């Protein structure tokens, strides 16, 4: 019976981690697309893109994690012209790609028995590209 309860607890924690990762992935997908829509080759476009990614985490209709109860607060937005050189504050023109990474500490309930941590970090990332005709997710 003890082994069965341990396996059930393990399943609950791992399942919860998958749900949190899916919530963060949905956020990063939407944030990357929103940010890419604002890219226009100017410094103001980069500022609007950064704000566009963060806007989805603020306000009354903000996307949240942990079954919609926790705000997404750890967001990093990077830009690139070629998907090789990612920068938070690019100085070059021609930026076509935006990457949004969200990380949050997923609380552990049953796995605390096996490791002394109270949480583990879950992360999700998405890359969007703006071309002349459209915006699309690349990763």
Residues 6+ apart with CB under 8 A from 19: 67
- Judged by average pLDDT, the poorest of 10-19, 64-73, 104-113, 119-128 is 104-113
Backbone angles phi, psi at 45, to 5 degrees: -65, -40
E strands, 36-134, in order: 64-65, 70-71, 75-80, 97-107, 119-130
- pLDDT of amino acid 67: 82
Q: How many domains does the chain have?
A: 1
For residue 28, pLDDT beyond 90: yes
The arithmetic mean of pLDDT across residues 115-125, rounded, is 82
Cβ(139)–Cβ(127) under 8 Å?
Answer: yes
pLDDT tens digits, residue range 51-94? 988 888 888 888 988 888 899 999 999 999 888 888 888 876 77
CB-side neighbour CA atoms (13 Å) of 36: 26
Q: Which candidate, 45, 43, 64, 23, places its Cα nearest to that of 135? A: 45
Q: Measured between alpha carbons, how far is residue 138 from residues 70, 87, 92, 129 in Å?
A: 27, 17, 21, 6
Q: Which domain holds residue 20?
A: 2-137
pTM score: 0.87
Closest C-alpha to 98, from 43, 44, 53, 42:
53
Q: How far apart are CA 60 and CA 88, in angstroms?
A: 27
């Amino acid at each position: 019976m003890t082994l069965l309860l341990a396996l059930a607890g393990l399943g609950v924690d791992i399942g919860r981690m998958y749900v949190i990762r899916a919530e963060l992935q949905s956020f990063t997908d939407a944030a990357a697309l929103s940010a890419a829509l604002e890219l226009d080759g100017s410094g103001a476009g980069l500022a609007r893109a950064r704000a566009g990614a963060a806007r989805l985490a603020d306000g009354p209709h903000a996307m949240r994690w942990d079954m919609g109860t926790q705000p997404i607060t750890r967001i990093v937005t990077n830009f690139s012209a070629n998907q090789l050189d990612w920068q938070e504050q690019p100085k070059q023109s021609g930026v076509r790609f935006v990457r949004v990474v969200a990380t949050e500490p997923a609380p552990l309930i049953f796995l605390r028995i096996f490791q002394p941590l109270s949480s583990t970090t879950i992360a999700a990332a998405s890359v969007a590209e703006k071309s002349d005709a459209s915006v699309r997710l690349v990763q």
